[in-house]
Chain A
């Protein structure tokens, strides 16, 4: 049995799924919040939505997702602080970008059920973060 292992642990990619839970969607203000948070981390941060992959550190890129309420997005982080970055960014989505109401949506309900058979991994480079439910893209 071969273990799949990135040669350089620094380059491991982690991912998680988030849901846009606020009524207005990922408009300018939340996109700004998300991009700023993403910029705080060294890791490369990418968002995967409707058949496109964009830079999570760019507000312009995030806005091109036009992610309405209920949209599922996958965030991929690659780098030494990938898990912390995913946590911090995922938290913004969980808190609905801390918008007006405090109705917090739990992200773990969503991702926990997405547990997959671990025989073959479709995403070679994706490894689990400790204590974090990694989101597997499965549409």
Chain B
């Protein structure tokens, strides 16, 4: 699964202002509402579900990356977005490092395979330090999108 299959370009936030875990999750969920990927009425329920998942163990998977996510019945396909924090946010990550790159995923409850393939793609790409660095330094949503598209193109080629 490619980034372009689940990342909404309109929802990309290259510089989040929130400085807490819940703040970032809220800001990213709001960006999906703004991009009309999820319904306004579902926002609180989705934020709550994502926070509940974080309670089970942080999705800060190390290397300054977090993948907050939840299943939610209000979506019929996997939707996601990307956010970047310049300063980094304490996400109770597995390696204790602050998180700068966030990939938020909301998936339909009956599609565990799609969720796995999105995680696969994210983790595969993020093993590349240069890619992480470029994302963190990206200036605007279009630049982030271009980096994601480049990564997609490369993963097809390889």
Q: Is B34 an interface residue (CB 8 A)?
A: no
Inter-subunit contact A25/B62 (CB<8 Å) = no
How far, in Å, is A20 (CB) from chain B's closest CB?
A: 10
Question: Which residues between 45 and 82 of chain A lie within 8 Å of chain B, taking CB atoms?
Answer: 59-61, 63-69
Other-chain residue from B112, B124, B126 in contact with A27 (beta carbon distance below 8 A): B112
Which of B15-23, B77-85, B114-122, B144-152 lies at the interface? Answer: B114-122
How far, in Å, is B70 (CB) from chain A's closest CB?
A: 11
Inter-subunit contact A66/B61 (CB<8 Å) = no
Count of residues in B whose CB is under 8 Å from the partner chain: 21
| B127 contacts across to A, CB distance below 8 A | 60-61, 64
How far is it, in angstroms, between the C-alpha of A67 and the C-alpha of B61 when the chains are bound?
17
Inter-subunit contact B56/A29 (CB<8 Å) = yes
Q: Is A103 an interface residue (CB 8 A)?
A: no
How far is it, in angstroms, between the C-alpha of A61 and the C-alpha of B116 when the chains are bound?
13
How many residues of A sit at the interface, in one of the four size bands? Answer: 10 to 19
Q: Mark B117-145, 1 if CB is under 8 A from A, else 0.
A: 10110111011000000000000000000
Other-chain residue from B63, B67, B124, B126 in contact with A28 (beta carbon distance below 8 A): B67
Inter-subunit contact A24/B119 (CB<8 Å) = no
The winner among A27, A36, A61, A64 for most chain B CB atoms within 10 A is A64
In the complex with contacts A60-B123, A61-B127, A63-B123, A68-B59 CB distance below 8 A: no
Q: Which residue of A lies closest to B58 (CB)?
A: A32
In the complex with contacts A24-B112, A59-B62, A60-B61, A66-B67 CB distance below 8 A: no
How far is it, in angstroms, between the C-alpha of A36 and the C-alpha of B119 when the chains are bound?
18
How far, in Å, is B20 (CB) from chain A's closest CB?
A: 21
Can you list 17 A-B pairs, Cβ within 8 angstroms, ordered by A? A24-B116, A25-B116, A27-B115, A27-B119, A28-B61, A28-B69, A32-B57, A32-B94, A59-B61, A59-B62, A59-B94, A59-B123, A60-B62, A61-B123, A63-B123, A66-B116, A68-B116
